[in-house]
Amino acid sequence: MANFRKKLIGNIQYGEYYKSIKPEMEQLFKKYQEEGKKVAIWGAGLKGNAFLSAVDPKARYVGAVVDRKESLHGTYLPSGHQIVGVQYVVKNEFDVIFIMGGSQYVDNYFLLTKTGFRGLIFDMDYLIKRRIGWKQIYENDFEKNDLEDDKLFGYTLSDIHQKLLEILREVDRICKKHHITYFLEAGSALGAYRSHDFLQSDYDIDIALLRDEYERFIQIAGKELDSRFLLQQRGKGSQYFYPYTQVVMDHTCFVNDELQDIKMHMGIHIDVAPLDNVSADRELQKKQFQRMQKITKMIWDKLHPEKFSSRNIFKKLIVNYRYYMLQLVPMPFLVRMQEKEFARYRDSDSGWVGDLCTHYKKVIAFEKERLLPVRRMDFSDGEYPVPKDIEYYLGIMYDDYKRPSPRENGGVKYNMVAVSLEKNYGE
């Protein structure tokens, strides 16, 4: 029943999106079929269902649908396509995989290559957005790195980076003064390790602290931050919904299209994430992360109706049924559920901590002794803390972190609607 609901919603929401490339993809799939090449797509959700309904409704060309969700493996979509895990396409030597969700492209790319996949991997959203023809895809002959892909409204990446460094220097000043331990995390840690600088297409800085240090930083920074900066957290009068904190530079804006209607400060910022105690048992870690991801998705869906243009009110209701249902659930209730997960192992020190705020669809958990004490590493204009065993840390975050992803040297992450280094959004 769930698959049929996904097919219905997917066809309504994305049907026209994929019909635009149907002729090109049919030509490409026929060419692959003539050569005996095995083709799969990644994603059994709304986009995957809609794509297959539009392009391969009788399961003639696509041999499998890859999805991370193990409970789906071995089941079939309404179109007749089997849902499988990553190992299936590696073992059966598939030649080409099209990843449906552009936001998950890099994560899935790394997972495929780490698992041993040696075929071609394409980002379907990228192909559609740039109107890449079937011959170019077949020959793998098109420009994949496009740093000018998104408008920066007259500014450069370097301009954004300089503002981010101003924020980082202020955070570092406070942490040094009060002996608060933090470290660069995620893409910032990867940039420090790779080139001692920002990744070329990175637009933000991420730092992490153990929960106790995080709470201490929030308390002190709220009083001691320079007047150019402010702390952004969940609270009354704001729709800021992330379970972590941001240090924002006031009188700036950096707004992508997904967030433009949310009532929160949209300035250039650093993400400040807590690391919470988690179980040492991998299965318990997995269950906790899955619970957290479900709650986080509910909060996101409650605030973000799907962008769907139609005069048909019934289609709008079908596409956004989850959004409308969640209006019946009070936000404080969802926040309490989230806080409960943060605190689940707070009083039991297993030696493991996890980033429960992560948007990655996997468990991000570390042995605490591999992270601390931190060490300092060159990053752009100075030295900043990174995890003690940074290769261990990056291995968990990115799997094959030594191998640059196709997007790392280009392909700006965000679709910007406003950028300014002088004024807030809406001023």
| pLDDT at position 411 over 60 | no
Rg (C-alpha) for the chain, rounded Å, is 22
How far is residue 47's CA from residue 7's CA, in Å, rounded to a whole number?
9
How far is residue 341's CA from residue 109's CA, in Å, rounded to a whole number?
29
Lookup result for tokens 């493991």: 352
Report, as an integer, the average pLDDT of 208-223. 97
At residue 380, the pLDDT reads: 94
- What pLDDT digit, counting tens, does each position of 378-391 carry? 999 899 999 999 99
Lookup result for tokens 């073992």: 91
CATH 3.30.70 fits 157-275+375-420, yes or no: no
| pLDDT at position 92 over 90 | yes
CB 374 within 8 A of CB 176: no
The number of beta carbons lying within 10 Å of the beta carbon of residue 408 is: 18
Q: Beta strands of 55-123 (E only): which ranges?
A: 62-66, 83-84, 96-99, 120-123
CB 243 within 8 A of CB 342: yes
Higher pLDDT, 37 or 312: 37
How far is residue 171's CA from residue 182's CA, in Å, rounded to a whole number?
10
At residue 148, the pLDDT reads: 42
How far is residue 41's CA from residue 126's CA, in Å, rounded to a whole number?
14
Coil/strand/helix, residue 201? coil
| pLDDT at position 13 over 80 | no
At residue 66, the pLDDT reads: 95
Q: State how far the alpha carbon of 208 is from the alpha carbons of 66, 213, 264, 339, 392, in Å.
A: 32, 9, 22, 18, 16
At residue 63, the pLDDT reads: 95
Q: Which residues pair with 420 in a beta bridge?
A: 253
Q: What residue segments make up the domains of the chain, in order of their start?
A: 2-139, 157-275+375-420
> Mean pLDDT of all residues in the chain?
88
Structure tokens at 182: 């933090």
How far is residue 235's CA from residue 263's CA, in Å, rounded to a whole number?
11
At residue 412, the pLDDT reads: 46
Looking at residue 397, its amino acid is: M
DSSP conformational letter for 383: E
At residue 10, the pLDDT reads: 61
pTM: 0.78
The full DSSP string for 48-94 is HHHHHHHH-TT-SSEEEEE-S-GGGTT-B-TTSPBEE-HHHHHHTT-
Q: How many CA atoms lie within 13 A of 368 on its CB side?
A: 15
Cis amide linkage into residue 330, ω under 30° from 0:
no
What phi, psi does 261 have (nearest 5°)? -100, 0
How far is residue 20's CA from residue 24's CA, in Å, rounded to a whole number?
9
Whole-number percent of the chain with pLDDT over 70: 90
Report, as an integer, the average pLDDT of 27-37. 95
pLDDT band at 157 (very low <50, low <70, confident <90, very high): confident
CB 184 within 8 A of CB 192: yes
Poorest-confidence range of 104-118, 306-320, 337-351, 369-383?
306-320
Report, as an integer, the average pLDDT of 33-47. 92
Element (H, E) at 269: strand 269-278
Max mean pLDDT range (78-82, 123-127, 254-258, 274-278): 274-278
Residues 6+ apart with CB under 8 A from 269: 167, 204, 232, 246, 247, 248, 249, 254
How far is residue 158's CA from residue 334's CA, in Å, rounded to a whole number?
38
Phi-psi region of 411 (alpha: psi -120 to 50; beta: other; left: phi over 0): left
At residue 146, the pLDDT reads: 46
- What pLDDT digit, counting tens, does each position of 300-326 carry? 989 888 776 667 777 777 778 888 899
- What pLDDT digit, counting tens, does each position of 246-290 carry? 999 999 999 887 788 888 899 999 999 999 999 999 999 999 999
Residues 6+ apart with CB under 8 A from 322: 301
At residue 400, the pLDDT reads: 75
Coil/strand/helix, residue 82? strand
At residue 408, the pLDDT reads: 60
Higher pLDDT, 6 or 292: 292
| pLDDT at position 145 over 50 | no
CB 183 within 8 A of CB 371: yes
At residue 151, the pLDDT reads: 60
pLDDT band at 98 (very low <50, low <70, confident <90, very high): very high
At residue 9, the pLDDT reads: 64
Report, as an integer, the average pLDDT of 324-340. 94
- CATH tag, 2-139: 3.40.50.720
